[in-house]
Structure 1
Amino acid sequence: MPHWKWKTFPELTLNELYRLLALRQDVFVLEQRSFYKDIDGYDQGSHHLFGTEEGPDGTQLVAYLRVLPPGLKFPESSLGRVVIAPSARRFGYGKVLLEKGIAFIEEHHPGTTIRIGAQNYLRRFYESFGFRVVGDVYDEDGIPHVDMYR
């Protein structure tokens, strides 16, 4: 099981920032072939959750998400950049990652709605956490997405 750690943007080390940007690029840009502006100006105001494991080459980032507080991007709280390293996808880390993100919002922003823009193929996964689709499927950077609220 990964070691989980929350940090604000100013608390990130350069190595942590490098690893999170590299993982996001590897999965969202290269693996999913979606060319988009990952560095979008929201990281600085977000809380970042890391799941790391020790491997033969040192500490590896295996899971990551960011929590955007209400008012940063949307009136609601938001989870974003939810990502699991390809080598770690078969261990259920995505479920733990999302549980921790939701719990963080419930603790730090109680009573707020959580809004996400989910890749459509993951809608059932998010529905299992109480998210509901609002609106139609739309294209975001070449990938079908849906807006979901909890």
Structure 2
Amino acid sequence: MEWKIKKYQDLTNDELYQILKARVDVFVVEQNCTYPELDNYDQECMHYFLIIDNEIAANVRILPKQVKFDEVSIGRVLVVEKFRKNGYARQIMQRAIDFVRDEWNENKIRIQAQVYLKDFYASLGFWQISEMYMEDGIPHIDMIWERG
């Protein structure tokens, strides 16, 4: 098990391929959602991921402030199906929050959360700041985390 965080430019071809494959497998195929997965934000992001047995097990991307939102944002949060139920989603989110707070010295993080995950994100300190809206056919809400 190995945690990695890299800028887009520092990803190997194999790492980038595995990250994109995991995202397509989860967000496009598993969730049966056709949308533009390659959205031109990856180049500006930090990519945080967990490798287990040479496979991507979990992934998030961290967007600097002013890239997508005024605040720093965490998105594309996933755990590959065969690695679920091991606490990796909580671990990678906490690591991403810690990175934003400790390395970038930022005090606020915005996410676009699928509604069914509201309680999970709330348990990490995020709170809802928008009404429910549909994005790519899936109910979402915006949530914010602020340093206490």
What interval of TM-score do these two structures reach, taking the shorter chain for normalisation?
over 0.9
Check conservation: 1:77, 1:109, Cα contact below 8 A.
Answer: no
> Mapping of 1:1-150 within 5 angstroms?
2-54=1-53, 59-150=54-145
SS for the counterpart of 1:91 is coil
2: distance between equivalents of 1:49 and 1:107? 15
**Matching residue's letter, 1:107:** D
Q: Distance in 2 between matches of 1:69 and 1:104?
A: 12
TM-score normalized by structure 2? 0.95
Distance in 1 (CA, whole Å) between partners of 2:130 and 2:79 is 27
* Counterpart code for 1:109: W
Partner SS for 2:4: strand
Measured after TM superposition, the shift of residue 86 of structure 1 is 0.0
What secondary structure does 2:92 align onto? helix
Q: What stretches of structure 1 of length at least 5 have no aligned partner?
A: none
Identity percentage of aligned residues: 41
Q: How many angstroms does 1:113 deviate by?
A: 1.1
Partners of 1:80 and 1:36 lie apart in 2 by: 15
Q: What residue identity is the alignment partner of 2:140?
A: H
Structure 2: state its 5+ residue gaps: none
Hey, what's the Cα distance between the residues in 1 that align with 2:112 and 2:59?
16
Deviation for aligned residue 1:112: 3.0
